[in-house]
Amino acid sequence: MNPFSSGTRLRDMIRAIRACKTAAEERAVIRKECASIRASVSDNDNDYRHRNLAKLMFIHMLGYPTYFGQMECLKLIAAPGFPEKRIGYLGLMLLLDERQEVLMLVTNSLKQDLNHTNQYIVGLALCALGNICSAEMARDLAPEVERLLQFRDPNIRKKAALCSIRIVKKVPDLAENFVNPVVSLLKEKHHGVLLTAIQLCTDLCNLNEEALEFFREKCTEVLVKVLKDVVNSPYAPEYDVSGIADPFLHIRLLRLLRVLGHGDADASDSMNDILAQVATKTESNKNAGNAILYECVETIMSIEDSSCLRVLAINILGRFLSNRDNNIRYVALNMLMKAISVDDQAVQRHRATILECVKDSDASIRKRALELVYLLVNETNVKPLTKELIDYLHVSDQDFKGDLTEKICSIVEKISPDKIWYIDQMLMVLSEAGNHVKDEVWHALIVVITNASNLHGYTVRSLYKAVQTSLDRETLVRVAVWCIGEYGDMLVNGIGTLDLEEPITVTENDAVDVVELAIKHHASDLTTRAMCLIALLKLSSRFPVCSQRIKDMVVQSKGSLLLELQQRSIEFDSIIEKHQNIRSALVERMPVLDEASFSGRRNGSTSIPSTSMGSSSLPNGVVKTNAAPLVDLLDLGGGEEPPPPNTNSMMTGGNFLQDLLDVGMSPSSSQPVTNANQAQKSGTDVLLDLLSIGSPPHQNGSSTPHHDDILSINQDNNKNKTLVTPLGSLSSPSPMVDLLDGFGPTPPPPKNDAPAYPPLVAFESSSLRLMFNFTKQPGNPQTTEIEANFTNKSSNVYSDFVFQAAVPKFLQLHLEPASSNSLPGSGNDSITQKLRVTNTQHGKKAIIMRIRISYKLNNKDMLEEGQISNIPREI
């Protein structure tokens, strides 16, 4: 027989395909077989139609297109015999889905088969309808399915219940039609029918509030009785799984009781006894028993329950934590995280077991247990829990140290009884896992240290001892260097010694040795070395006997390949050698930093104020006015009134830390230095220019990059730009001169000559409005900055909001990310998105673009399109 004729059996085609050695050979076999099937379809060959459809289904499962065989399914379904219908319905479920228009043609055949006298044909129709039912088919065939719920054969009733689930999900309005018929199914003895009926009840409760109330009143007692019968039923081999009678029915019943008992005290009270019986009687040495216990615990935690039953449920979870199966322990940890908000004290009893899970070899269990420990921490147990976690930090895996360190730092910051305990715990973390600590953590530690004035001596001595053996811990070295620079005199003189300290002797040279080791350590990065230079500058004033040694160390960085270190070395050397008269005032101790404002900026709650001409915005969100930083720092404002303590001025604690520790501030922040003579008196100008080396940077109005935090370092040393520090500016093309020799006039601030354009309604529909705001940079008329504002005119919330645009070839378009992907209704808020358009034919052709806006409304995909052609040509 020809292996590619329509009479070829399915097994012969499969054998031919499996004999192919390459993908190309397989495609050739499939292509020839499809051609043969097409010819048979064209000839309307009835003899081999069922065989051709079987081969098409196999070809479809291999991933090849079989759309040409869809009508063959309908012809076989319309055939009178059961074998043809079986192949036809199987092909219908496999080759088509509910989105196919061809499916509309099969509705009449389904209706006839649902009323067929042969129960097996009725079962085929119910299976097909339950798999590919569309909303239109559900409305047409719901009465037949509802009638079949009372059919004499239990298999048909079971399939009708499953089909009903599909129908009510497709058309929730039909849910009320199935409420009364399903009640009678709950009294079935056949477990298959009972299982599907319970699932149908659960879906009806989730879809319809009236159905939920009806089942609470009519079915709660019935379901409790069914569950009791299942729990106490004798051994039945057809339902037994590991010695437990039908665990699947157990679980479905518990889930339905959970839905009925949630928020209803009467229904919850009626099921308390059976839940307690399930929790105590079910064996936990088998996986089926553990599954039932887990569902029972989840039901107990969801219903309106007494505390005794909840304690029983949490104790079951505690037993799960001792199980050897990692999956059971993982789900127990997940459930305990939910239970902690319900009964914290019951979960606290299993704290020791949870801590052991933190040390588990499985990474997923470790992380989940660590999150649970974080939720368990309160004022009474913070010290023992933190001690346990820090002890484990010494022996934990490197991959886990990052997560463990983050949680320990969060616990210490969230709940700390006193500042000395906070400092001790943070020093232990920095000493053990300093390289895993994030920048904001040690920034916060510095803020706390500045606020603990009675612990300055204790802290600097503790850091001095810790850094002796942990020079490879980057963050520990930074905090130690900072504290030695600030409180080095306390370290040497033993000021502020506490009773719990062991006395140590430290000389000036010992303190300088620590900084020297840090700056020369091979693992020290740019930030650490820059902080070391600042600490050396401060120690040169605090330790006059070491001034020459410190100067020699500072000079060594003049030849650094890193421009930042080179610049600071030159400036600090000039201060030490030439400007000793102001050095002590310049390097005074940092003022107390405001913990509340720092925490607000760290959490993102402090809004960034808008700035105007004559001011610049710092990365930490504080407006820096055109007053010189050194003038404010030394309080030499020429008799002017100081700003209020709570205003965003240079006297805030955050800006002191910015001024003294920020290395590589943006050039924009140096403009107040060059413009100081416009705001201060002549004496102020002398102090301003006293510490500036080189000519000031030109003010070209260009934007400068901002930095992420107050201690960040600009490492972009490869570009020809001016890097500015708080002590002045260094411009490489300019000669090295001392500005004490004279003062030149300060150039006026640049004017903004960019023309203003009125806003434009670019697109508007019944539900959306799109506004364009235009800006241009002076000297670059071809480039237009557009700020798009989207406003929702309807009362609904639009989610997954996406804006797309296309432009002709003479335009170049760049889209930046939108401010949000959710658009509130009624115009309460808007989404903004910035566009940059470059018009290569500016003045000749106007900006035009096609736009597409997609979003979801009530989980339905919506799409709006339009063309914007009303933008003036001069833009």
Write the pLDDT tens digit of every residue in 603-640: 764 333 333 333 333 333 333 334 333 333 333 333 44
pLDDT at 604: 63
CB-based contacts of 576, cutoff 8 Å, min separation 6: 537, 540, 547, 550, 551, 554, 583
CB-based contacts of 475, cutoff 8 Å, min separation 6: 430, 434, 435, 437, 439, 441, 442
- Whether 224 has a pLDDT exceeding 60, the answer reads yes
* AA letter at 261: G
* AA letter at 815: L
**Band (682; pLDDT cuts 50, 70, 90):** very low
**Band (677; pLDDT cuts 50, 70, 90):** very low
**Hey, what are 669's tokens?**
């922040």
The Cα–Cα gap between 340 and 734 comes to: 66
The Cα–Cα gap between 143 and 136 comes to: 13
Q: What are phi and psi of 510, to 5 degrees?
A: -60, -40
**Band (829; pLDDT cuts 50, 70, 90):** confident
The Cα–Cα gap between 569 and 567 comes to: 5
- Whether 710 has a pLDDT exceeding 90, the answer reads no
Q: Which of 755, 760, 750 is nearest to 775 (CA)?
A: 755
Q: Given the structure tokens 């260094």, which residue do they identify? A: 730
pLDDT at 753: 53
Tell me how crowded residue 606 is: count the other CB atoms within 10 A of its CB. Answer: 18
pLDDT at 6: 52
* Helices assigned H by DSSP within 594-743: 595-603, 629-634, 653-661, 671-674, 682-690
Helix crossing, 119-132 with 154-170: angle to 10°? 20
The Cα–Cα gap between 97 and 379 comes to: 58
The Cα–Cα gap between 763 and 760 comes to: 9
The Cα–Cα gap between 408 and 424 comes to: 13
Evaluate whether 256 touches 274 at the Cβ level (below 8 Å).
Answer: no
* AA letter at 107: T
* Helices assigned H by DSSP within 526-579: 526-542, 547-555, 563-578
pLDDT at 223: 93
- Whether 712 has a pLDDT exceeding 70, the answer reads no
Return mean pLDDT, the chain.
81
**Band (754; pLDDT cuts 50, 70, 90):** low
Evaluate whether 630 touches 657 at the Cβ level (below 8 Å).
Answer: no
Environment class of 460 (CB within 10 Å of its CB; exposed 0-12, middle 13-18, buried 19+) = buried
The CA R_g of the chain, rounded to the nearest whole Å, is 38
Looking at residue 823, the DSSP 8-state letter turns out to be B
Min mean pLDDT across 207-216, 360-369, 725-734 is at 725-734
Residue 728's beta-bridge partner residues?
725
Q: What are phi and psi of 860, to 5 degrees?
A: -110, 135
- For residues 534-544, one letter each, b for 16 or more C-beta atoms within 10 angstroms of the residue's C-beta and e for the rest, the string is bbbbbbbbbbe
pLDDT at 625: 38
Would you put residue 648 in left (φ > 0), alpha (ψ -120 to 50) or beta?
Answer: beta
- Whether 31 has a pLDDT exceeding 90, the answer reads yes
- C-alpha distances (whole Å) from 320 to each of 241, 263, 325, 362 are 20, 27, 9, 16
The Cα–Cα gap between 515 and 550 comes to: 10
Q: Which of 316, 313, 342, 347 is nearest to 329 (CA)?
A: 316
pLDDT at 875: 84
- For residues 235-269, one letter each, b for 16 or more C-beta atoms within 10 angstroms of the residue's C-beta and e for the rest, the string is eeeeeeeeebbbbebbbbbbbbbbbbbeebeebbe
| E strand or H helix at 853 | strand 849-857
The Cα–Cα gap between 138 and 151 comes to: 19
pLDDT at 870: 87
- Better pLDDT: 867 or 611: 867
Percent of the chain with pLDDT over 70: 82
- Whether 549 has a pLDDT exceeding 70, the answer reads yes
Task: Determine the distance from the C-alpha atom of residue 718 to the mean position of all C-alpha atoms in its chain, rounded to a whole number.
Answer: 34
pLDDT at 838: 92
3-state DSSP assignment of residue 840: coil
Instruction: Tell me the mean pLDDT in the region 186-195.
Output: 90
**Hey, what are 206's tokens?**
């989730």
3-state DSSP assignment of residue 807: coil
Q: What does 439-499 look like in DSSP terms, one character per residue?
A: HHHHHHHHHHHHH-GGGHHHHHHHHHHHHTS-TT-HHHHHHHHHHHHHHHHHHHHTTT--T
Instruction: Tell me the mean pLDDT in the region 850-870.
Output: 90
- The pLDDT tens digits for 430-488 are 998 878 888 989 999 999 999 988 999 999 999 999 998 888 889 999 999 999 999 99
**Band (7; pLDDT cuts 50, 70, 90):** low
- Whether 668 has a pLDDT exceeding 80, the answer reads no
The Cα–Cα gap between 831 and 819 comes to: 6
- Better pLDDT: 617 or 875: 875
- The pLDDT tens digits for 395-434 are 888 888 889 999 999 999 888 889 999 999 999 999 988 7
Q: What are phi and psi of 636, to 5 degrees?
A: -115, 55
Environment class of 568 (CB within 10 Å of its CB; exposed 0-12, middle 13-18, buried 19+) = buried
**Hey, what are 763's tokens?**
């697109």
Evaluate whether 821 touches 790 at the Cβ level (below 8 Å).
Answer: no
* Helices assigned H by DSSP within 209-246: 209-218, 220-231
Min mean pLDDT across 92-101, 113-122, 154-163, 500-509 is at 92-101
pLDDT at 728: 35
* AA letter at 601: R
pLDDT at 678: 39
Min mean pLDDT across 25-39, 100-114, 168-182 is at 100-114
* AA letter at 405: T
The Cα–Cα gap between 155 and 126 comes to: 11
pLDDT at 433: 85
Q: What are phi and psi of 216, to 5 degrees?
A: -60, -40
CB-based contacts of 416, cutoff 8 Å, min separation 6: 382, 422, 425
- Whether 730 has a pLDDT exceeding 90, the answer reads no
Q: Which of 297, 295, 309, 314 is nearest to 255 (CA)?
A: 295
- The pLDDT tens digits for 314-362 are 999 999 999 889 999 999 999 999 998 888 889 999 999 999 999 998 9
Q: What are phi and psi of 600, to 5 degrees?
A: -65, -45
Q: What are phi and psi of 617, to 5 degrees?
A: -100, 125
- The pLDDT tens digits for 244-286 are 889 999 999 999 999 999 988 899 999 999 999 999 988 888 8
* AA letter at 22: T
3-state DSSP assignment of residue 723: strand
Beta strand 830-839 with 783-792 is antiparallel
pLDDT at 779: 80
Residue positions counted in the chain: 875
Looking at residue 104, the DSSP 8-state letter turns out to be G
Instruction: Tell me the mean pLDDT in the region 192-199.
Output: 94
3-state DSSP assignment of residue 773: strand
Sheet of 860-868, strand order:
799-806, 849-857, 860-868
